[in-house]
Amino acid sequence: MEIERKYKIETLPDGYENFPSRMIEQAYLCTDPVVRVRRDGDEYYMTYKSHGLLAREEYNLPLNETAYLHLLEKADGIILSKRRYRIPIEGTALTIELDIFERDYQGLILAEVEFPTEEEALAFTPPAWFGRDVTFTGEYQNSKLSKGLQKIN
């Protein structure tokens, strides 16, 4: 089960570039249900996600590079590319995944935080630099972004 909150970021926090980061490329074979392929650094996955906004089932299956590239050719829509920074939230076991998009969504910045329970997710108070909470609108789900339907401003 994946339980996460998502926020649109307008201003990057000082020092974000000092945290570990990696490039992620992902594309969607289907968006209902969500079936995605992803290159995350040197690792490759195919992921199934159920419907949902705050919480949903998620299953990851490992791929090799050859399989990833083969499936990537079958993807619909935009191939998303982003640099993900992992920023620990001081005093907690939580980590911010700060995604700075490139290519078609250059300038879009989103932050996600995963939680062990829905109760903790709903009680979360985001850092001051977080922007609008877009968790429950679904407008910035990557599967929707892959369709090219979202304006970034």
Beta bridge partners of 87: 96
Given the residues 28, 68, 85, 140, select the one marked as catalytic.
28
Q: Rounded to an integer, what distance in angstroms lies between the CA atom of residue 136 and that of residue 149?
A: 17
Q: Does the annotation count 28 as an active-site position?
A: yes
Q: Are 67 and 81 in contact (CB under 8 A)?
A: no
Single-letter amino acid code for the residue at 141:
Q
Q: Rounded to an integer, what distance in angstroms lies between the CA atom of residue 91 and that of residue 55?
A: 24
Other C-beta atoms closer than 10 Å to the C-beta of 3 total 19
Strand boundaries in the chain, DSSP class E: 2-8, 21-31, 34-40, 43-49, 55-56, 58-63, 76-88, 95-101, 109-114
Active-site amino acid positions: 28
